[in-house]
Structure 1
Amino acid sequence: MKQIKATARICISFAVLVFALPLTQHANAQSQWTPELSLQVKRLSDLSFSPDNKSLLYGINSVDLDGDIYLTEFVVSDLSGKNIRTLLAPSAHISSAQWSADGKTVAYLSSESGVNNIWMIDAGGGKGRRITDVKNDISSFQWAPDSQSIAFVMTDPDFNAPDVQDPEIFNKNRLWQLKLDDARTGGQIINLTKDQDFTVSDWAGSWAYDWSADSRKIVFAYQDDPGLDAWTKAQLAVVETDTGSLTKIATENDRWKYFPKFSPDGKWIVFINAPGAFKWSFLWDMKLVPADGGSMISLASSNRRLPFPWQWASDSKSIYYVENDRATYSFFSMPVDGGAPERVFGSPSDLDVPGLNTYLVSSFVDVSSDNEKVAIIGQTYNKPPEIYVSDLKPFSPEKASDANAAFYDVPIGKTQLIEWHSLDNTKVEGIFTYPQNFVDGQRYPLVVQLHGGPNGADFNEYLPLMKFFSTAAYSAKDYFVLRINYRGSLGYGKKFREDLIGKFGVVDIQDIMSGVAHTINLGLVDPEQLFVIGQSNGGTLTSWIITQTDMFKAACPIAGETDYISLEGTNGYFQTSWYLGGSFTDNLQRFLERSPIFHVKNVRTPTLVQGGLLDDNVPHTQLQEFYRALKRVGVDAHLVGYPGSDHDEYPPKLYLRLLQSCLEWTDRHRASAGK
């Protein structure tokens, strides 16, 4: 269900699930999209300017389907995209490449030794060398501004696990410092949070901590335990690397604090702070605290009350931040003097303008250190991800890569934003993709495609790269596809998100069904050929919808919750309970009313249930319960559990099979509906 878990995990790896294949034939020769062709598209990640602002470093992510592995290659180019060279050859082991501040070296994580260690390579090229030799995975790292040290997060290697399972005994994340020697071949490793009773937060990877400009202090987020819910109570501390002295900061309130960053002049630390108790609908603001101690200072509220501090302007007078903004992320500048934020770029209603859409742990936008230029990983529904570079003012991006040139001319269905009003008159927005061979005056089947979260959103991303969905292939097979940012979705403001509280399974399904009715009323969609698919919370909604209506000819829920009572005892998130208004111990009737499992007798829709066997977010038992109940009441149902797969990550071959299975299930029942 939870979109945030995906963010956490690929911080949580956030190297992202990336899908691309060695091109066995020129993509331009393909007449239509298929799941197999979609897997050949490359994702880009870890974008940054070199310290001298003359070069770009970024990752190109692909998949080797024969080897059943995901690959990452790191390249360096000039700002025009020419003179590109491979710095680190494609590998299943590498991630998170970062320039040293002096520009001489690039550090990265590699699991070549069996666990994630820090490796280095000269920025000009050469052979990578391992500079740590640890026995636990390093989850993230960050260079010090003086290029003499690296901070990293790793669990305590001296932890002695109990010989029986005990949830109250756990290993803690520690913050470590690697002091490099002159030869850059390693150095002394210091545990900066040894014996502390907290664990260092690692939701969002290295975005959870930051070095001071003088390389003498690190600010970081911490939490009581590594539990999935515990990061919602994270607080901040500063450790002095020379003495190990630790000071907790911004202690005026105990509300959630995260994403701390020192200003370049060393005077301030910016961070996000919830205005009250943490809400799963997400609500926070940016605050400042003096780096040498003092009270918190509030900055202006952002448009959506969901800012992610990205980087400071070089003059320390403003902070750049990213925020969900309807169908894209937008990039803003927030003055530290209390002034109103200014949009740098972002076109939330224009699907033809390359926008941002990727996971927050991987840098997908970077402002040069001279505050003159900005580089982004941009894409639209019909333009694959590429690097774009622009002057900061005026923003006029020029493409600076051709990683996905093979797909520029492969046709794709027209896509547009549409709006309608739900039953309570709330305006709802969807991203509507036409059949590739659309003919005016004809009606076509509709696939309703539901994103996770609910605190997620559907974005203006390249259709073949839609995670867990064969959107482009559906369009190529002449389906309409409607992606709905239903109530609870990010990017539409506080009220829109919080309308779902206590009305989980009510207003969201009204938003969805009113959107379906809207497309039918437009004279575009055949009401006898409706299909619904969803992943995570989208899978939950898919399972719920088919207990409430038999309008859909087939359904494909992926990793969806079905029994909210058993869920509360078997996963680590209490997000669903929060949206329902509290635990089932105090709210049993609502849990019974809203759980799909308790309405299974109403289901008539053929249902393909799928999910990862290692999923600890929505345990596979949720899927088994629903499948067995469907079979008991005589529904045409099928269950597929994927080994080696969790909530967000599947081995490539199984991921392809998941995409194909939903597509084939829909096609089969489309043929039946057409008889």
Structure 2
Amino acid sequence: MHRRGPGGLCTVILTLLLAAVFIPAGCGEKTEEKKIDLKDPSMAPVEDIQDAAKLTFDDVLYAEYVSEMAFSPDGSLLAWCKDFCAPGMETRANNIFLTDLAENKTMQLTSFEGAIIARLRWSPDGTRLAFLSEAVPPDAADGTAAAIQVWAADPAGGGAAPLTSVAGGVEEYDWKDAQAILYTAAVAERKDDVEPGDGTIHVSEYCEAPVRLFRLDLASGETAQVTSNDDRIIVLTVSPDGKYAFYERTRSKMYVPGQTYYGDIPFNNYLLDLEGGDEEPVFPGMRSTGGAVWSPDSGTLYAVDLYYEDPNPYAFRAEALALDISTGEESSIDLDWPRGMEMMSPFSLPNTPIRPTPDGFIAVLADGCNPKIARYIKSGEEWEQIMLEGEHQGNIFYIEVSPDAESVCYDYSNASLPPQIYAARLQGGEITGPEAITDLNPGFAGKIFARSETITWEGARGDPIEGVLFYPEGYEPGHRYPLVLVIHGGPFECDKDRWQSYQWLDPYHFLSQRGAFVLAPNYHGSLGYGENSIDFSSSIENGEFYGLVTEDIENGMERLIGMGMVDEDRLGTMGWSCGSIISNALIVRDQRFKVASCGAGGGEWVSEWGGSMFGDVLVPNLLGGDPIENPGLFKDPAQAPFYDAARVQTPVIMFQPGEDVHVTPDMTWITYRGIQKYGNAPVELYIFPGEDHVPMLIPHQRRKMVEEQKWFDEYLFE
């Protein structure tokens, strides 16, 4: 889920893991006796791993993934975007490949060096594959600044070239027909009072220039402005027949309400008649959009409503809406799945969980660690749900469907198996004959990865808590081993039974190779649990977070200790963002922890309320007030572990991106100084200059792994 992409290409779900707060202890008492079925660890022995078969830092940093896929209009070809890195590169990059599905033969379409690619879109006639990239054209003059443009590649292998040359770059685009595209771009006003080189930042919640819709005729090269709005157009999608465009409009410079400081800037939805020019508001109740897609016949627009109850836009349930174009009738689709759809797609893949078919759509449904794939078929006024059968069901995290709905391609992995893309047939309610069409990470051949499994235990309020447990290499039942908690961010996120593309951030396999159990707990607040998702994720509001979450995690630890698996004298904890914040609290509460790693998150909240881009939409919602309304709330050690720094006896290594606007650097600095002056254990802090919430520079990622491993070797493993 974390990556850097051009402009607005980063998925809006990034914000779900970027903020967290602590709430008073003592709030997690059981309200009623509940009968739950627990899934115990298997406790099966694990083989030793020879050094040559262990994962290395280079394996992680230079790993390959697929970041996006797109079927050709006739369904015979699959375009896919490889995300890769190689020695000498400072950041990850992309190139496009094309697989003939009948022959299972693949060719490379682009050979960019260091460019980001996103939004693969086939032309309606299948003769061109368009995409967004900030690559500099090979014929550009020296010193040409990189800007996001629409490019097109020849699927026959004839190379790629930009279709647009928009000053300031393109934000979004789609095909209108085979000879025209629609795109959005900012219309910047000239500012005569700004001198060249002035890098002043104006702090504002609002966009400083309108983002409008334009039409480019590819034959003539002529561009025409389509809209005259004075706000921003985002989430653009054009109907297959080229007659309508759906988009959102907002004055915010962000992409969802949860990214704004107060959360009160509207995001409104519109349907534009491209022939008549009329713009009509649609889906008035949808305040936060998870994307929209069209049926193949252009008759129905499906939208993903990230439905939430005020005032918390992070605790949402992804619901499906439909708009009948011929009648204008809007409806809510009963998914027969109270938890809604899955929005935590791997590696920032396209996050809209609906894939249209001629008779309905395929949806990815939220279900904790193992989302489910279901087919929905329209029958009169009703929708029929068919839970798809197939050997990979439960571990498919991203899927594309051919236009005729006879084929699918999907990303398959589990927590101990790196991903590959599989092609298969879709036959009614079954996915049949899956065959891998990628050979990602050939260097992983001969590697042995830590064994993992999902387990459950009883958490706060008697609720079942699910997590992913990784076993230490050489595990033998009857022996006790160290345990390291690797705690996810959010708090409104969820660890999955899938391969983590950011192994440098959450080093499950490195810790297992060093001989430790690793537990990734999905505590209260995590998405995809409870009766309807919202109930579980919103349970941490109004003073409940700290008590519920720490009880959940401590119960998981105690269960493993009580089963004779874990040595309670060798405990560690780590996390990024909210995971760091939780770890800071745990080492104050429990002096058994021998080591901790805390990245981009501390234990003091005034700085987060004022310095985070979404400070007031999140912090008061979870704490129950802001520092002006209730200053005592923010000075209470039960809510701000910073004030209990003298209780820290755990050696702590801390990391912080220098330009973080999500979890402010001040939060980490203040916590670091508190532990440094008053704590009773070593503490070190490393700053990554120029980086936002998650470091993207490979040297910074490597430094994090190196320093963290040395720290854990010194205080836990040796």
Q: Please give the range of the TM-score, normalised by the shorter of the 2 chains.
A: 0.7 to 0.9
1:103 maps to 2:113: no
Asked if 1 retains the 8 angstrom alpha-carbon contact of 2:504 and 2:705, the reply is no
Deviates more, 1:166-175 or 1:99-108: 166-175
1:339 maps to 2:383: yes
In structure 2, C-alpha distance between the alignment counterparts of 1:15 and 1:29, rounded to whole Å: 37
- Of residues 269, 273, 279, the one that matches 1:246 is 279
The count of aligned residue pairs is: 637
Q: Which has the higher contact order (CA 8 A, sep 6+)?
A: 2
Number of the residue aligned with 1:147? 178
- Of residues 528, 536, 539, the one that matches 1:496 is 536
- Equivalent residues in 2 for 1:175-186 (5 A)? 175-182=212-219
Shift of 1:188: 2.8
The 1:523/1:477 distance shift into structure 2, 3 A limit, reads same
* DSSP-derived class of the 1:640 partner: strand
Residue 41 of structure 1 aligns with an amino acid whose one-letter code is A
- Of residues 398, 410, 413, the one that matches 1:376 is 410
Asked if 1 retains the 8 angstrom alpha-carbon contact of 2:308 and 2:314, the reply is no
Deviates more, 1:148-157 or 1:554-563: 148-157
In structure 1, C-alpha distance between the alignment counterparts of 2:213 and 2:333, rounded to whole Å: 31
Asked if 2 retains the 8 angstrom alpha-carbon contact of 1:331 and 1:346, the reply is no
Shift of 1:605: 1.2
Number of the residue aligned with 1:445? 482
Shift of 1:355: 2.0
Shift of 1:137: 3.1
Residue 340 of structure 2 aligns with an amino acid whose one-letter code is R
The 1:509/1:405 distance shift into structure 2, 3 A limit, reads same
* DSSP-derived class of the 1:506 partner: helix
Deviates more, 1:325-334 or 1:382-391: 325-334
In structure 2, C-alpha distance between the alignment counterparts of 1:328 and 1:232, rounded to whole Å: 34
- Structure 1, residues 234-286: CA drift from partner, whole Å, max 9, x if none? 220122334543222233x4744452333333333222332644532112422
Shift of 1:453: 0.9
Residue 86 of structure 1 aligns with an amino acid whose one-letter code is Q
Asked if 2 retains the 8 angstrom alpha-carbon contact of 1:268 and 1:288, the reply is yes
Structure 1, unaligned runs of 5 or more: 17-26, 202-207, 358-363
The 1:243/1:218 distance shift into structure 2, 3 A limit, reads same
In structure 2, C-alpha distance between the alignment counterparts of 1:624 and 1:476, rounded to whole Å: 32
* DSSP-derived class of the 1:594 partner: coil
Asked if 2 retains the 8 angstrom alpha-carbon contact of 1:235 and 1:258, the reply is no
Residue 74 of structure 1 aligns with an amino acid whose one-letter code is I
Shift of 1:531: 0.5
In structure 2, C-alpha distance between the alignment counterparts of 1:51 and 1:189, rounded to whole Å: 26
In structure 1, C-alpha distance between the alignment counterparts of 2:62 and 2:479, rounded to whole Å: 32
- Structure 1, residues 510-542: CA drift from partner, whole Å, max 9, x if none? 111111111111211111110000011111111
Q: Cα RMSD between the aligned structures?
A: 3.0
- Equivalent residues in 2 for 1:447-486 (5 A)? 447-462=484-499, 465-466=502-503, 468-486=505-523
In structure 2, C-alpha distance between the alignment counterparts of 1:13 and 1:341, rounded to whole Å: 28
Number of the residue aligned with 2:244? 217
* DSSP-derived class of the 1:499 partner: helix
The 1:436/1:9 distance shift into structure 2, 3 A limit, reads farther
Number of the residue aligned with 2:684? 638
Shift of 1:124: 0.5
* DSSP-derived class of the 1:455 partner: coil
- Of residues 640, 643, 650, the one that matches 2:696 is 650
The 1:345/1:224 distance shift into structure 2, 3 A limit, reads farther
- Of residues 523, 527, 549, the one that matches 1:508 is 549
The 1:374/1:40 distance shift into structure 2, 3 A limit, reads same
Number of the residue aligned with 1:77? 99
In structure 2, C-alpha distance between the alignment counterparts of 1:66 and 1:15, rounded to whole Å: 30
1:415 maps to 2:452: yes
In structure 1, C-alpha distance between the alignment counterparts of 2:573 and 2:53, rounded to whole Å: 26
The 1:321/1:271 distance shift into structure 2, 3 A limit, reads same
Shift of 1:52: 1.5
Asked if 2 retains the 8 angstrom alpha-carbon contact of 1:386 and 1:399, the reply is yes
Number of the residue aligned with 1:606? 651
Shift of 1:294: 3.8
Q: TM-score, normalised by structure 1?
A: 0.87
Q: TM-score, normalised by structure 2?
A: 0.82
Shift of 1:345: 5.7
Structure 2, unaligned runs of 5 or more: 15-48, 137-145, 195-199, 344-351
Asked if 1 retains the 8 angstrom alpha-carbon contact of 2:60 and 2:503, the reply is no
Shift of 1:375: 0.5
Deviates more, 1:150-159 or 1:111-120: 150-159
- Equivalent residues in 2 for 1:488-637 (5 A)? 488-493=525-530, 494=533, 495-502=535-542, 503-573=544-614, 574-591=617-634, 592=636, 593-634=638-679, 635-637=681-683
Number of the residue aligned with 2:294? 262
In structure 2, C-alpha distance between the alignment counterparts of 1:650 and 1:310, rounded to whole Å: 26
Number of the residue aligned with 1:171? 208
1:12 maps to 2:48: no
Asked if 2 retains the 8 angstrom alpha-carbon contact of 1:609 and 1:640, the reply is yes
- Of residues 334, 340, 343, the one that matches 1:305 is 340
* DSSP-derived class of the 2:486 partner: strand
1:198 maps to 2:242: no
- Structure 1, residues 412-468: CA drift from partner, whole Å, max 9, x if none? 121111111024211111100001222232211111000111111111122575361
Number of the residue aligned with 1:204? none
Residue 559 of structure 2 aligns with an amino acid whose one-letter code is H
Shift of 1:40: 2.9
Shift of 1:54: 1.2
Number of the residue aligned with 2:431? 395
In structure 1, C-alpha distance between the alignment counterparts of 2:330 and 2:554, rounded to whole Å: 45
Asked if 1 retains the 8 angstrom alpha-carbon contact of 2:417 and 2:449, the reply is no
Shift of 1:333: 2.6
Asked if 2 retains the 8 angstrom alpha-carbon contact of 1:610 and 1:640, the reply is yes
Shift of 1:138: 2.3
- Structure 1, residues 59-118: CA drift from partner, whole Å, max 9, x if none? 121112323232212111122673211111253114023322211111122323311111
Number of the residue aligned with 1:662? 708
The 1:161/1:45 distance shift into structure 2, 3 A limit, reads farther
Number of the residue aligned with 2:36? none
